């Protein structure tokens, strides 16, 4: 999956979770500080991404460093997509 498609999937998931339009994300956008996510909204976002991207997130292996910015999140999702091949 192209990185642009991954970012679009993240934007769609965030729009659902935050109940407001989220678009134009750049890799530098911070998930907690800029978008005001909390641990519950991160889990909701991951569940939405699992459904839309057909990936499986193992909560036991989650590393908070993967959720610092949109860039680190998309890199994490790309790794998951690579593992699914």
pLDDT at 48: 96
Helices (H), the chain: 3-18, 39-53, 70-83
* Partners of 30 in beta bridges: 69
Q: Could you tell me the end-to-end alpha-carbon distance of the chain, in angstroms, rounded to an integer?
A: 11
**pLDDT tens for each residue of 13-57:** 999 999 999 999 999 999 999 999 999 999 999 999 999 999 999
**Helix, strand, or coil (residue 69):** strand
pLDDT at 58 over 90: no
CA torsion 26→50→5→19, rounded to 10°?
-50
pLDDT at 83: 74
Q: What's the pTM? A: 0.90
């Amino acid at each position: 999956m192209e990185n642009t498609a991954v970012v679009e999937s993240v934007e769609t998931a965030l729009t659902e979770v935050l109940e407001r339009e989220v678009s134009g994300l750049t890799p530098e956008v911070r998930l907690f500080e800029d978008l005001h996510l909390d641990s519950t909204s991160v889990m909701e976002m991951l569940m939405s991404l699992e459904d839309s991207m057909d990936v499986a997130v193992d909560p036991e292996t989650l590393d908070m460093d993967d959720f610092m910015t949109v860039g680190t999140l998309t890199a994490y999702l790309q790794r998951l997509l690579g593992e699914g091949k």
